[in-house]
Structure formats: C-alpha cells, structure tokens
Amino acid sequence: MTDINNNQTAAAQYRAIRGQHQQPEEHFTRVSPSGMTWILRRVPLMEHLFNGQLPLSIAAKMAAAKAGTKMDDTEAFASLSFEEQAKSIELTTSRIRYCCVSPRMCESDACGRLL
C-alpha cells in the first residue's frame, strides 16, 4: 500500500520486514477416524513460554504434584486452584486453535459474535 506520493506506508513497510524474518511454517495433514482431513501446524511451545502464555507456576506445580506423590495427570490437574485450572484450559484451547490451519477453529463467527 502506498500513499499519495507513492511512498510505502508504515504498515506496508512493517509487513515487508516481518515477512523477511518469518520462518516458513511447516504444515502436515492428518485424517481423523471420521474421515475428515485436517491441515495442522506445530505448536511452538517455546514461543508460548516467552510470550507469557505458559504460566511456569502451573507447570511447576503440576510437575511437583506428579513427582512427589505419583499422581496421574487428572489428579495433578485437580490439585490446582480454580484460577490455575482456568488458565490451563485457556492455554490448551488457544494451542488447539493455533495448530488447526484447515478447518479453522474460531471463537467467533464472521460477524464477531462469540460462538
């Protein structure tokens, strides 16, 4: 996009620079038992960690619960507080939405209404 003097706008410059630095995404295809074909991408866990989306306190608490008492995942999850459980579920759903390229999973419809 250009302005009246044929100069690139700041947004166009940003998109061009961002495009140069982005790694190409690797997509792969899986077929579910129902026969539906899914196009997926890997979830970069380190990116979630560095963006603050993966609360280390929750991960550490679950690991400690599992190591100290030999709990399974369900019991370790149940030992978390309500807020920690909610954050964990929110992280999981955001990771699922991120990895589904096609069909795409959304929180809202085309009009922006929550589903």
Would 43 be classed as within a structural domain?
yes
Would 80 be classed as within a structural domain?
yes
Would 94 be classed as within a structural domain?
yes
Would 110 be classed as within a structural domain?
no
pLDDT recorded at residue 49 = 67
Q: Which domain holds residue 37?
A: 26-102
Q: Report the number of distinct structural domains present in the chain.
A: 1
Would 66 be classed as within a structural domain?
yes
Residue range 54-112, pLDDT digits in tens: 667 777 877 777 787 777 888 888 888 898 888 888 888 888 888 888 887 776 666 55
Would 50 be classed as within a structural domain?
yes
Would 16 be classed as within a structural domain?
no
Q: What is the mean pLDDT of residues 19-43?
A: 83
* Residue 67 amino acid letter: A
pLDDT recorded at residue 53 = 65
Would 3 be classed as within a structural domain?
no
pLDDT recorded at residue 62 = 76
